[in-house]
Chain A
Amino acid sequence: MSKSIESTGIWKNFGDTQALKDISFDVNEGEIFGFIGPDGAGKTTLFRIITTLLLPDRGSMTILGLDSTKGFKKLRENIGYMPGRFSLYLDLTVEENLNFYASVFGTRVEDNYELISDIYSHIEPFKKRLAGKLSGGMKQKLALSCALIHRPRLLVLDEPTTGVDAVSRTEFWEMLRKLRQHDITIVVSTPYMDEAIRCDRVALIQSGQIMTIDKPQNIRDGFSRKLFSAKAADKYGLLIALREYPGTLSVYPFGDSIHVTFSEEKPDKALTEFLLKNGITDAVLNETEAGIEDRFLELMGKDETRKL
């Protein structure tokens, strides 16, 4: 399988801040590759290097067979980019935005309509509306249409689902999956761990470093210990108590429950007694399957111990 992106040892500084440290990864042609990480992890910087907007301090990147630094002119014809803030002209209508981006890339809306029809049909009824008056989900669809209008071979989406409602987010990922039929490689970033599962492969990124790259399922399976989900009426008290329990390895709130791992294989009576002593009488402990987020936190924990 040929590669859309080959990145080797990319470093980038902004003054004293190390934004990217030794970033290496490959993206296969036609796959959806996700970068998952919290805000400030370096995702946007990396994406700007991929889209030739920034030059790396060190390292090299080959995109669609072209060097990202030397071949930037040719590359810019073949990349579709949707920056973190939807780059739409808010005082232009939906239709005008689309026509403008089409003309900038030297094409016409009609020529590639079938590519975007799935997405654009959602907002076409509002084509005379100003982009500034659209909802977040509609802006996102319009921005995606604009990024796709010149039929790019590589689509780079920087946090496309941030600030968009849950329904639109689900719809959006379905659209991305459909785009794979058109041989478009998609690189996408998101701070939402639950979206990782929708990518073919993901890279977990933290503080400018890639912690791991794998299929989402493999990443979940990489979780090394038994994970338990704990619940009690006094959630905060339970959290404090679990933190203080000597046998606890990791503990963090997770939705309405608490995810916890222990040094022993299975927590025994000592834990129950410990909790009782701390006034938690109704604690329920169940083994649960680890998600990407659990794995992410586990890797982060390792990273921190390593630093120490």
Chain B
Amino acid sequence: MKRFLGFVRKEFIHIFRDVRTLTILFGLPAVMIILFGYVVSTDLKNASLAFLDLSKDDVSIELTDKICSSGFFEKTADLSGYQDIDRILRSGKAKAVIIFGEDFGRDLEAGKNARVSIIADGSEPNIATLVTNYATAIISGFNQQLLLAGQVSVPVIVPEVSMFYNPSLKSQFMFVPGVITMIMILICALMTSITLTREKEFGTMEVLLVSPLKPVHIILGKVIPYFFLSFVNVVTILVLSRLVFGMPVNGSPILLLAECMLYILLSLSIGILISALAKTMQQAIFISLVGMMLPTVLLSGFIFPIENMPKVYNWLSAILPPRYFIVIIKNIMIKGTGFAHVWKETLILAFMTVILIGLAIKKFRIRLQ
């Protein structure tokens, strides 16, 4: 036991003395969260809109003001006729054009359907969808307002759009679970595989092997510090996303942390397995990044929905632990469901962990090649 504690102590010294390790450990998560939260944001902000107002009455002008003052849109042009629509969209000066039909206000007062069209630039499908959704929402809000004020008795347009779980469709709510999933794989798998292969490269592994330390001591000694630090990391990410993005934890925090621990353990055992296969640090980095990070980003359902993938990729993603963890973490954080809804995924992860740890210990060589 004393041998083992000595080993763990040494690992902590390694970590705290190496600025690069510390930066990756604690800087990376913060940067990732902020980066994904803000830059890769799919929220709409000051999207350029062009208006073709054929009616030019009080109501259409009021609605135009309302749309432009929402913060989501910015008026970049007033068009004079239909012929300008194609030109402005092609030039990219507007993401969409909003057209008020002739007699917009008069139709409204007469209780007839007033016509509003939104023509969006479909070459950027994501933005087009966002723009139409947001604009529709604002218009129906305006409509609601008119109803309440008693100015009209019949709704102009009633778009029935409602969002479950993420009412404002905040994209951070999508990204935070994904980033946690990715960072844990990255840090746990990458860092542990690097620290183990570093011993090989620096020749210190030779002496460790000649010593009476058992493989399980060496492996656990490497795992424990990173387990502890990764856990601190998860908590940091959760607090950070709460403070910066107001990301809630709707379900039980204890369940969430327990699931995170399981996932950390799983990622660590992947790292150990990688280090058993890799001879140099470079190989370990390569396997961790290409073998773990890319599939996590592409195939786990973090960015692209698994349902839309071709069958082969769908099967491939079934063996990726992040796929299950993302489901778990989204369920707990956003939907606020309990263990009853995630036990299947949890079981799969636990099963994978046991197999990987077993494999890692078995593959660990008690001799040199």
Spell out A's residues near B (CB within 8 Å). Answer: 48, 51-55, 72-73, 76-77, 79, 81, 83-92, 96, 99-106, 146-147
Whether B212 lies near A76 (C-beta < 8 A) is yes
On whether A106 and B3 interact (CB within 8 A), knowing A84-B203, A91-B13, A100-B10, the answer reads: yes
Most buried by A among B17, B211, B213, B366: B211
Q: Which of B13, B17, B210 contacts A51 (CB 8 A)?
A: B210
Chain A residues positioned under 8 Å from B367 (CB to CB): 52-55
Is B277 part of the binding interface, using a Cβ–Cβ cutoff of 8 Å?
Answer: no
Whether A83 lies near B14 (C-beta < 8 A) is no
Whether A100 lies near B6 (C-beta < 8 A) is yes
CB distance from B194 to the nearest CB of A (A): 14
* In the complex, number of A-B residue pairs with CB atoms less than 8 Å apart: 82
Is B312 part of the binding interface, using a Cβ–Cβ cutoff of 8 Å?
Answer: no
C-alpha spacing A102/B5, complex, angstroms: 12
Whether B211 lies near A103 (C-beta < 8 A) is no
Q: Which of B6, B202, B210, B213 contacts A85 (CB 8 A)?
A: B202
Chain B residues positioned under 8 Å from A85 (CB to CB): 202-203
Is B204 part of the binding interface, using a Cβ–Cβ cutoff of 8 Å?
Answer: yes
Name B1-29 residues within 8 Å CB distance of A.
2-3, 5-7, 9-10, 13-14, 17-18
CB distance from B281 to the nearest CB of A (A): 14
C-alpha spacing A51/B210, complex, angstroms: 7
Chain A residues positioned under 8 Å from B203 (CB to CB): 83-87
C-alpha spacing A52/B368, complex, angstroms: 9
Whether B204 lies near A89 (C-beta < 8 A) is yes
C-alpha spacing A92/B12, complex, angstroms: 11
Closest-by-CB residue of A relative to B16 is A91
Q: Which of B13, B207, B208, B209 contacts A96 (CB 8 A)?
A: B13
C-alpha spacing A104/B211, complex, angstroms: 7
CB distance from B83 to the nearest CB of A (A): 71
Please give the number of chain B residues whose Cβ is less than 8 angstroms from any Cβ of chain A in the complex: 25
Whether B10 lies near A53 (C-beta < 8 A) is no
On whether A101 and B2 interact (CB within 8 A), knowing A53-B368, A77-B212, A91-B14, the answer reads: no
Is B206 part of the binding interface, using a Cβ–Cβ cutoff of 8 Å?
Answer: yes
Whether B210 lies near A89 (C-beta < 8 A) is no
Whether A87 lies near B2 (C-beta < 8 A) is no
Chain B residues positioned under 8 Å from A106 (CB to CB): 2-3, 212
C-alpha spacing A48/B210, complex, angstroms: 10
Q: Which of B5, B10, B208, B212 contacts A92 (CB 8 A)?
A: B10
Whether A89 lies near B368 (C-beta < 8 A) is no
Closest-by-CB residue of A relative to B211 is A104
CB distance from A125 to the nearest CB of B (A): 21
Q: Which of A79, A87, A105 contacts B204 (CB 8 A)?
A: A87
10 A-B pairs within 8 Å (CB atoms) are namely A53-B368, A85-B202, A87-B204, A92-B13, A92-B14, A92-B17, A103-B2, A103-B7, A104-B3, A105-B212
CB distance from A80 to the nearest CB of B (A): 8
C-alpha spacing A100/B207, complex, angstroms: 12
Whether A87 lies near B207 (C-beta < 8 A) is yes
Whether B6 lies near A79 (C-beta < 8 A) is no
CB distance from A160 to the nearest CB of B (A): 13
Name B162-211 residues within 8 Å CB distance of A.
202-204, 206-211
Name B237-292 residues within 8 Å CB distance of A.
none
Chain B residues positioned under 8 Å from A79 (CB to CB): 210
Chain A residues positioned under 8 Å from B207 (CB to CB): 81, 83, 87, 101, 146-147
Given contact pairs A87-B203, A91-B13, enumerate 10 new A-B contacts (beta carbons under 8 Å). A53-B209, A91-B18, A96-B13, A100-B7, A103-B6, A104-B7, A104-B208, A105-B211, A106-B212, A147-B207
Whether A89 lies near B14 (C-beta < 8 A) is yes
CB distance from B369 to the nearest CB of A (A): 8
CB distance from A169 to the nearest CB of B (A): 20
Q: Which of A48, A72, A83, A96 contacts B10 (CB 8 A)?
A: A96
